[in-house]
Amino acid sequence: MTQDDLSAADERPSKSQLKREMHELQDLGETFIAMKPKERERFPLSDEFIRAIEETDRIRAREARRRHMQYVGKLIRKEDLDGIQAVFDEIEQTQVNRDHALNRLEKWRDRLIEEGTPAIESFIADYPDVDRQALRQLIRNAVKEREQNKPPTNAKRLFKLIRETAGV
């Protein structure tokens, strides 16, 4: 063996690495199978791949399903993996943004209950379209609930009002 032959062998992925990659692609196929058709529409998938995914539902035999999943893994290699990853990233970013928005609204709820009038005025300045009477009533009831160690029914209603007002 020459030096060139050794370096070419070093650059190729190992058999174990190739198997891991194939299993990852099969897992990605499982993810698509578990999705509702409406969710799948966001992804750049070929018609052949979509047909294979839809066909999976009618396969009941264990061994046939295993072979079909290998076929799905083979088909997914031909798909636009970068495009698919971009959609997953977009979905994840949307979820992160929504989580941040909900956390911000939870802080508003806690601040309204704890601080009272100054927080209410600040909230109304930020969200002038809020139903002020309902806001004040829910805050009063939430404070009473907290003082009496009752379940936070009105605090939940207050959060719902805040969320609807903020449009989240």
Tokens of 25: 């692609």
Could you report the per-residue pLDDT of 74-104, keeping only the tens digit for each? 888 888 989 999 999 999 999 999 999 999 9
Looking at the domain 3-86, which fold is it? Diphtheria Toxin Repressor; domain 2 (1.10.60)
Question: Are the beta carbons of 66 and 22 closer than 8 angstroms?
Answer: no
User: What is the percent of the chain with per-residue pLDDT over 70, rounded to a whole number?
Assistant: 94
Give the pLDDT of residue 105: 92
Confidence of residue 10 (pLDDT cuts 50, 70, 90): low
Give the pLDDT of residue 7: 56
Taking the model in full, what pTM does it have?
Answer: 0.62
Tell me whether domains 3-86 and 98-166 share a fold: yes
Tell me how far apart the alpha carbons of residues 80 and 121 are, in angstroms, rounded to a whole number. Answer: 51
Give the pLDDT of residue 22: 82
Looking at the domain 98-166, which fold is it? Diphtheria Toxin Repressor; domain 2 (1.10.60)
Q: How many CB atoms lie within 10 A of CB 53?
A: 22
In b/e form, how buried is each residue of 148-162, taking b as 16+ CB within 10 angstroms? eeeeeebbeebbebb
Give the pLDDT of residue 117: 86
Confidence of residue 25 (pLDDT cuts 50, 70, 90): confident
Domain boundaries, the chain: 3-86, 98-166
Mean pLDDT of the chain: 87
